[in-house]
């Protein structure tokens, strides 16, 4: 066997499958995994966790118009400092576009690859929530009177365009290696770090009784993105289980380089956002320290060594919301009082189950 060759082994209960020799350079068609093969019937599910996650996402559904931002308009005009408005404007310029790229990864890439109905249902539900996020951020911008020309203003800023260009390079190749890299990059470093860096800056405002409607939109978005990160990592772990040995040291090195590049883009963007100076309760150094802290956590979730060696979250106030394996009480108590009758208990149950499964998967080398 070659040094990159691995033996395909099925772990799907009650579904026999022929093993085959594959490597990280194999195409998706070379794999015998049921993840890449259409199931001719709806049930029995081959990946029941995906249906459970789809169900959870549906119960978490929300729409922008459910948020009152009347007071945000007042804050924007009368309360915020020039530095605060400038910081928010820079974040707003790219925030909508960022979720457009994330949604495009679901619809234009993942859905072309993953075939089981229950997995497609999960991915489609995630893509749908990205459209809600896009509409919600646009709803906020439009309500604040920010002109539509700002939706394309990000192209004029190197710090934003570099982020955009880099995100787009991972969605056009279809070897097993490319799929794994795209999956972990978007899960761990786009949805799991890039978006959360902006979330942390936005959530600083409600701490001081400013922009509370924006804060509500952000907390609901965090709830969704946390589910997405958990679930895409579960999909990643499933691929590793079905293709033992495919997560090579060479791939880890590539992902480390990509992760560090994305962090460097975020550092440049943070400097741009704070170009007029710190704001109440937050400095650029604090946000950079936070993304280093989150980056190390993401590397560890990918069975890799930490890079930045930041062991303490510099934004202690945000720790119960965004760090750890996940603080599920956040979804029930901290983020919002918004619930639907069918939702009670489902977030805790689902995240607890995913946490147990993810912890079990940490035994991979």
Check residue 244 and report its DSSP letter.
T
Residue indicated by tokens 């097993």: 176
How far, in Å, CA of 55 to CA of 122, rounded? 8
Catalytic-role residue among 137, 186, 237, 290: 137
* Cβ-contact 242, 248 below 8 angstroms: no
Q: What spatial distance separates the first Cα and last Cα of the chain, rounded to whole Å?
A: 19
CA torsion, ordered 202, 108, 149, 90, to nearest 10 deg? 20
* Cβ-contact 13, 217 below 8 angstroms: no
Alpha carbons within 13 angstroms on the beta-carbon side of residue 311 total 0
Alpha carbons within 13 angstroms on the beta-carbon side of residue 66 total 12
191 labeled part of a ligand binding site: yes
150 labeled part of a ligand binding site: no
How far, in Å, CA of 175 to CA of 10, rounded? 19
How far, in Å, CA of 97 to CA of 165, rounded? 12
Active site residue 137: yes
Long-range contacts of residues 314-319, Cβ cutoff 8 Å, at least 24 apart: 314/286, 314/289, 314/290, 315/200, 315/286, 315/287, 315/289, 315/290, 317/207, 318/200, 318/203, 318/290
130 labeled part of a ligand binding site: yes
Instruction: Give the distance between the most distant pair of CA atoms in the chain.
Output: 69
Helices (H), 60-174: 70-74, 82-105, 111-113, 117-143, 158-167
Which distant-in-sequence residues (6+ apart) come within 8 Å of 221 by Cβ?
Answer: 133, 136, 195, 199
How far, in Å, CA of 252 to CA of 83, rounded? 40
Neighbours of 341 (CB within 10 A): 6
Q: Six-digit token pair at 227?
A: 């589910």
**What sign does the CA torsion over 118, 234, 186, 283 have?**
positive
15 labeled part of a ligand binding site: no
Catalytic residues: 137
Binding residues for Fe cation: 99, 130, 133, 191, 225, 228
Binding residues: 99, 130, 133, 191, 225, 228
């Amino acid at each position: 066997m070659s040094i990159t060759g691995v033996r395909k082994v099925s772990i799907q209960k009650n579904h026999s499958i022929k093993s085959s020799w594959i490597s990280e350079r194999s195409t998706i068609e070379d794999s015998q995994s049921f993840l890449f093969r259409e199931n001719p019937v709806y049930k029995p599910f081959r990946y029941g966790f995906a249906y459970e996650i789809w169900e959870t996402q549906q119960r978490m559904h929300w729409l922008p118009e459910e948020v009152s931002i009347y007071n945000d308009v007042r804050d924007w005009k009368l309360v915020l400092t020039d530095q605060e408005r400038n910081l928010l404007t820079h974040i707003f310029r790219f925030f909508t576009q960022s979720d457009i790229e994330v949604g495009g990864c679901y619809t234009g890439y993942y859905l072309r690859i993953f075939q089981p109905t229950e997995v497609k249902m999960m991915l489609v539900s995630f893509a749908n929530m990205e459209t809600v996020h896009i509409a919600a951020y646009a709803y906020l911008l439009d309500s604040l009177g920010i002109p539509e020309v700002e939706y394309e203003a990000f192209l004029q800023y190197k710090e934003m365009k570099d982020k955009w260009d880099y995100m787009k390079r991972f969605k056009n190749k279809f070897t097993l290696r490319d799929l794994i890299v795209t999956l972990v990059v978007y899960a761990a470093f786009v949805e799991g770090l890039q978006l959360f860096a902006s979330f942390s800056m936005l959530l600083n405002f409600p701490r001081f009784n400013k922009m509370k409607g924006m804060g509500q939109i952000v907390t609901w978005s965090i709830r969704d993105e946390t589910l997405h990160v958990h679930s895409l990592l579960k999909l990643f772990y499933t691929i590793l289980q079905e293709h033992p040995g495919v997560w090579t040291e060479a791939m880890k090195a590539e992902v480390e380089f990509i992760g560090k590049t994305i962090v460097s883009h975020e550092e440049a963007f943070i400097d741009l956002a704070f170009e007029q100076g710190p704001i109440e309760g937050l400095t650029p150094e604090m946000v950079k320290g936070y993304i280093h802290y989150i980056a190390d956590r993401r590397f560890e979730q990918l069975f890799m060594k930490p890079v930045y060696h930041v062991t303490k979250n510099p934004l202690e106030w945000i720790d119960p919301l965004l760090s750890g394996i996940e603080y599920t009480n956040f979804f029930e108590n901290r983020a919002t009082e918004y619930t639907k009758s069918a939702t009670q208990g489902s977030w805790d149950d689902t995240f607890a189950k995913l946490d147990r499964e993810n912890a079990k998967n940490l035994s991979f080398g």
